[in-house]
Amino acid sequence: MPKLALVAIGGNSLIRAGQRGTVAEQRDNAATTAKYIAQLIRNDYFVVLTHGNGPQVGAQLLRSELASSQVHPEPLDVCVADTQGSIGYVLEHALQRALDEASMRVPVVTVLTQVVVGGDDPGFLHPTKPVGPFYSEEEARRRERELGWKMVEDADRGYRRVVASPEPLEIVEIDAIRRLVLNGYIVIAAGGGGIPVVRRDGYVEGVEAVIDKDLVSALLARELNVDTFIISTDAEKVFLNYRKPNQQALDRITVSEAELYFTDGHFPPGNMGPKISSAIRFIRGGGKEAVITSPECLLDAVRGRTGTHIVPDERVFS
């Protein structure tokens, strides 16, 4: 019987280091990632897909601000909605082609997904979520002065803009997503962490924020009761003491061990931190297994041959 996996693909699946992020580049990268997803499906995994949108939503914001003298600017929630649609479109095409080439007839659909956050979330007071491209320090300071952006150094690769990143509380379209999955669709959902909304007077209303896609992915994985929550990133495994002489790859650890390593500061907030935190939330919420690995290693990882596997404490020896 096929297993259900939620695969959260990172930004590197669409825009790789050193690329400009053109649509042509994103199509090519999506085609490569789609082949690895198709391998999972061929090997008895049914898939729900989520994705990041940091570079794309940053570019959308920049376009909006640079063109503000000519057209009305778009608020951040609308920029997230725009990129959900455009990235979903690119991924749908890539997945459908990969499935067709593998002689598998499986429908693929993108669901524009709203995610409820708290209006009083402290994330609105302390922006932390990086979006958009990397800048030099000089260019970052100029944008702080001229555009009022908050800029931080990110993963030793340069400076990026940071925006509010409140906690995800509820997925508005969860019933529709669940029905599509039960009816045999591969669903692309909660792209970029979902469109951030708050509940006011019985209705939802968009707010200026970008929700962490790994945290939303963990929430969606729990809601769908998936067998495996897979976080696809640019590393085959997670490391302790990363890039130090004593770095150590993690193969299979308990959720308690993951929490200890997280508390000890092994996982930077702007890099591996949210992924480990999301895996912990999934397991603590009743999940069976979380796997962190690179796109090309997806199949080997779910077979236990590679990747970092985080499991409940009682399953470490099972």
User: Phi and psi dihedrals of 270, rounded to 5?
Assistant: -90, 5
CA–CA distance, 306 with 142 (Å, rounded to integer):
43
DSSP state of 187: E
Identify the active-site residue in 12, 29, 53, 271: 12
246 part of the active site = no
Q: How far apart are CA 38 and CA 8, in angstroms?
A: 15
Backbone φ and ψ for 219, nearest 5 degrees, come out as -60, -45
Between CA 131 and CA 53 the distance in angstroms is: 8
Are residues 292 and 261 in contact, defined by beta-carbon separation less than 8 angstroms? no
> What single DSSP character describes residue 272?
T
Sheet arrangement for strand 170-171: 170-171, 114-116, 195-200, 203-206
Catalytic choice (88, 191, 194, 213): 213
Query: Which among 58, 123, 129, 237 is annotated as catalytic?
Result: 129
What is the Cα–Cα distance from 265 to 160, expressed in whole angstroms? 22
Active site residue 275: yes
Q: What does the buried/exposed string (b/e) look like for 282-304 if buried means 16 or more CB atoms within 10 Å of the residue's CB? A: bbeeebebbbbbbbebbbebbee
129 as an active site residue: the answer is: yes
Q: What share of the chain is helix, strand, coil (3-state, %, to 5)?
A: 40, 25, 35
- Judge whether 237 counts as a catalytic residue: no
Catalytic residue among 10, 11, 123, 307: 11
Catalytic hit among 52, 271, 275, 287: 275
Q: Is 288 a catalytic residue?
A: no
Angle CA(102)–CA(107)–CA(113) in degrees, nearest 5? 125
Known catalytic residues are 11-12, 129, 213, 275
